[in-house]
Structure 1
Amino acid sequence: MSGATETSLTCARCGKPANLQCPKCVELKLPCEGAAFCTQDCFKASWSSHKSIHQKAKLSCENDTGAEQNSVAPNDWLYCTRKGQSRTPKLPIFDWTGTLKPYPISKPRLVPAHIDKPDWAIDGTPKIEPSSDLQRVVEIKTPEQIERMRETCRIAREVLDAAARVIRPGVTTDEIDAVVHEATIAAGGYPSPLNYYFFPKSCCTSVNEVICHGIPDARKLEDGDIVNVDVTVYFKGVHGDLNETFFVGTVDEASRQLVQCTYECLEKAIAIVKPGVRFREIGEIINRHALMSGLSVVKSYCGHGIGELFHCAPNIPHYARNKMVGIMKPGQTFTIEPMINAGNWRDRMWPDGWTAVTADGKRSAQFEHTLLVTETGVEVLTARLPTSPDMFPWLKS
């Protein structure tokens, strides 16, 4: 109990003069009337009924926050729920792990009729992928498939570069999504995430404590944020997938180190890719480097095979002592995409059913490439181009 600031208050229980006030009410900045008590005994006797005031205030605050967030977006923008299948005008109630909350999202963007589309584009449900033999067998790509993947992965790189160029404080993640969508369409491709199991946008934008699968929305990026943009393009019947984490304005040193370490984790993992290497060794390399920097590796999400299917064998865990079986062979294509957390590795899911966030609210970073195992080593199909923007200060040295 803390001393009340008013001297004319009366006890909420017995009506006597009161000079003590509920500390929770003080924290929530609630009116002094109804929150003052003459003694500790009166406060304790009233607690079971008085505490309901705190919950009502919390709900009111959340609704006010929702109204405030809606004010930055058009009236027809709504919050995403049920893994993309529903919308609601109110901010969902959730014990957010960090300072970030979802904002309303715009309507799904349209894809011209002439663009070749994957089988989930219309109804949100992949047909071929779930039951394919390639969920169990790692495909060896033909030279013709590899050439198509090179072309698609180059387009995906150019799309991500276009998104990187617009990242700055004040830009919304929805605006980033618009750039990704338009650049993909202009190249003749389809943005693979769009309507994949009902995902509502053309790319994933994961800000600060979001680990992966963040949904682009009306929130404006703020100076000091970090944001991952995850792009996948479907072109000529194959997919190309990559992502990078970018600085927004001036970030703190801890965030800079997190992002740089995550970049290094991916680079070190790629360096061991060649025929005969066990898939499980990738996790050992990544885990060792992250631990040396006092960081942790997310275990709930992994890299994956890719080609004519968006996701297929092999799974590529990024953590140590994983049970993945198999060795790398020439002609295999897959992604490595470590997600590294500043705190512990555990994650939670937002009410939208897509957005995975750190359980402790601390920041997370990610980088991803699509790779081809060659006869002598590895080809990074989504490698940076001479025209790629200069986003990472450690690459200048």
Structure 2
Amino acid sequence: MIYLKSSSEIELMKKSGRIVAETLAKIEEVIRPGITTKELDKIAEEYITGCGARPSFKGYNGFPATLCTSVNDEVVHGIPGNRVLQEGDIVSIDCGAIYNGFHGDAARTFPVGKISPETQKLIDVTRESFFEGIKYAVVGNRIGDISHAIQVYVESHGFSVVRDYVGHGIGREMHEEPPVPNYGKPGRGPKLTKGMALAIEPMVNMGTYAVKELSDGWTVVTADGKMSCHYENTVVILEDGPEVLTII
């Protein structure tokens, strides 16, 4: 069942979304060669709890941390630890927070020091594919219209869209109906309705779209070992168009 949010519920979601956006901004400020992913996780948890919120991910199905920190060929669900970020790495930071009973969820991929032009292009295309997608996030369209726009934009730049992991509805639960693929045909899927809240999150690979899960049961990597990027925001569908809740 798709739960439509009232105007008062959307106002609450704006607060959780802002906390997530501010947390990601704090992380961006401190990312540099030599810092560990565990240190990033500590900064995020302290900020989220300092805002009176709770990390959405910590304890979720047993996940042990506040952030998902996915480095280079890691697509999603990387576990923070003692890994030291190096010059030329990229790190995808996925962050969620629950405040007053509602979740916010967003992800960004950040460069670590100086990166190659091709890797920067991957980051830029992944981010822009989100904005191409939400052009179609309007009342009366369908989920597939968003999905198709993302896929077409990504593939036009020579990259591939991950199939095995998709976006989702969001609200009182972190994962709600409907699923929001980053690929597909227009005119398919649930009709977009005022009050729908969606976590739209392109995951884009430099090479093949095929991925595999590592033995830790969480970390997902590209099948060919090439770089991957992730960009996500929480979006609500309103009468006059989409509103992004996780950008400040």
Name the residue aligned to 1:195: 59
Q: CA deviation at 1:291?
A: 1.0
With CA pairs under 8 Å and 6+ residues apart, which has the higher RCO, 1 or 2? 2
Q: TM-score, normalised by structure 1?
A: 0.61
Q: Indicate the structure (1 or 2) with the bigger Cα radius of gyration.
A: 1
Q: CA deviation at 1:290?
A: 1.0
For residue 364 of structure 1, the aligned residue among 228, 232, 247 is 228
Structure 2: give runs of 5+ residues left out of the alignment.
Answer: none
Q: Is 1:272 matched up with 2:136?
A: yes
Q: Distance in 2 between matches of 1:210 and 1:175?
A: 18
Q: Distance in 2 between matches of 1:195 and 1:322?
A: 36
Q: Distance in 2 between matches of 1:325 and 1:256?
A: 32
Q: TM-score, normalised by structure 2?
A: 0.98
Q: Is 1:165 matched up with 2:26?
A: no
Name the residue aligned to 1:39: none
Q: Distance in 2 between matches of 1:232 and 1:319?
A: 24
Check whether the contact 1:317–1:324 (CA below 8 A) recurs between aligned residues. Answer: no
The letter for the 2-side match of 1:194 is K
Q: CA deviation at 1:187?
A: 0.3
Q: Equivalences for 1:56-205 in 2 at 5 Å?
A: 137-205=1-69
Name the residue aligned to 2:242: 378
Q: Distance in 2 between matches of 1:151 and 1:191?
A: 14
Name the residue aligned to 1:283: 147
Instruction: Encode CA deviations 1:298-341: one digit per residue, 9 max, x unaligned.
Output: 00011100000110101000012389521101111011100000
Q: Distance in 1 between matches of 2:123 and 2:183?
A: 17
Q: Distance in 2 between matches of 1:192 and 1:178?
A: 14
Instruction: Encode CA deviations 1:177-201: one digit per residue, 9 max, x unaligned.
Output: 0011000010001001001000011
Q: Distance in 2 between matches of 1:209 and 1:351?
A: 15
Q: Equivalences for 1:10-49 in 2 at 5 Å?
A: none
For residue 127 of structure 2, the aligned residue among 231, 252, 263 is 263
Q: Is 1:317 matched up with 2:181?
A: yes
For residue 244 of structure 1, the aligned residue among 85, 108, 112 is 108
Name the residue aligned to 1:345: 209
Check whether the contact 2:197–2:235 (CA below 8 A) recurs between aligned residues. Answer: yes
Q: Distance in 1 between matches of 2:61 and 2:168?
A: 17
Instruction: Encode CA deviations 1:101-159: one digit per residue, 9 max, x unaligned.
Output: xxxxxxxxxxxxxxxxxxxxxxxxxxxxxxxxxxxx21111122111101111111111
The letter for the 2-side match of 1:186 is G
Instruction: Encode CA deviations 1:218-270: one digit per residue, 9 max, x unaligned.
Output: 01100000001111001100100001000100001110111111011011111
Check whether the contact 2:24–2:95 (CA below 8 A) recurs between aligned residues. Answer: yes
Name the residue aligned to 2:200: 336
Partner of 2:141: helix, strand, or coil? coil
Q: Distance in 2 between matches of 1:323 and 1:268?
A: 16
Q: How high is the sequence identity, in percent, across the aligned residues?
A: 39
Partner of 2:143: helix, strand, or coil? coil
Count of aligned positions: 248
Check whether the contact 1:208–1:364 (CA below 8 A) recurs between aligned residues. Answer: yes
Q: Distance in 2 between matches of 1:324 and 1:159?
A: 35
Report the more deviating stretch, 142-151 or 172-181.
Answer: 142-151
The letter for the 2-side match of 1:264 is E
Deviating beyond 4 angstroms after TM superposition, the runs of 4 or more aligned structure 1 residues are none
Q: Is 1:327 matched up with 2:191?
A: yes
Name the residue aligned to 1:75: none
Q: Distance in 1 between matches of 2:204 and 2:185?
A: 17
Check whether the contact 1:268–1:286 (CA below 8 A) recurs between aligned residues. Answer: yes
Structure 1: give runs of 5+ residues left out of the alignment.
Answer: 1-136, 386-397
Q: Is 1:227 matched up with 2:91?
A: yes
Q: Distance in 2 between matches of 1:202 and 1:268?
A: 29
The letter for the 2-side match of 1:140 is L
The letter for the 2-side match of 1:347 is V
Partner of 1:147: helix, strand, or coil? helix
Q: Distance in 2 between matches of 1:283 and 1:186?
A: 36
Q: Distance in 1 between matches of 2:103 and 2:154?
A: 29
RMSD: 1.1
Check whether the contact 2:17–2:104 (CA below 8 A) recurs between aligned residues. Answer: yes
Report the more deviating stretch, 351-360 or 282-291.
Answer: 282-291
Q: Distance in 2 between matches of 1:239 and 1:214?
A: 20
Q: Provide closer, same or farther for how the CA distance between residues 223 and 161 of structure 1 changes in structure 2, counting only shifts above 3 A.
A: same
The answer to which structure has the higher strand fraction is 2
Q: Distance in 1 between matches of 2:131 and 2:79?
A: 27
Q: Distance in 2 between matches of 1:375 and 1:283?
A: 20
Name the residue aligned to 1:54: none
